Amino acid sequence: MLQKSAFGNNLYIDDVTSGLITGINNSPIALSPERYELSQNYPNPFNPSTKINFSIPKQSFVSLKIYDMLGKEVSQLVSEIKTAGVYSIDFNALNLSSGTYFYQLKAGEFSDIKRMMLIK
């Protein structure tokens, strides 16, 4: 569309839009995870810190502990009620020796253990 501006020169204005609605997606957006999950730490092997990610689908008491090869608890990273969601916990092993460690997540009826390696 061509219009005159207040200054007397021609001004081109394009106010035409086009589009075709082909459908509406009514599926709900996932606001919380659908299942419990404990991911492999990253990086692995690590020195001196690593990230441990986990997800819980509903509010639960969550425990995340680190154990050495003999089964001795060396760190407790989480021990509290958590709401449904995805979490990322940093684990710093600066004061631990090189070796294999295990981390265990308990939440509600869910329990899982994974292995990680600290290399100094």
First-to-last CA distance in the chain? 70
Q: Write the pLDDT tens digit of every residue in 52-95.
A: 999 999 999 999 999 999 999 999 999 999 999 999 999 999 99
Task: Provide the CATH topology of domain 37-118.
Answer: Immunoglobulin-like (2.60.40)
Could you give the C-alpha distances from 7 to 1, 2, 4, 11, 118, in angstroms and in order? 17, 14, 8, 10, 73
For 48, half-sphere exposure in the C-beta direction (CA atoms, 13 angstrom radius) is 6
- Which residues 6+ apart lie within 8 Å of 89 measured at CB? 51, 52, 53, 54, 64, 77, 78
If you average pLDDT over every residue of the chain, what do you get? 86
> How many CA atoms lie within 13 Å of 105's alpha carbon, on the beta-carbon side?
22
Pair 102, 51: CB distance under 8 Å = no
When pLDDT is cut at 50, 70 and 90, the band that residue 6 belongs to is low
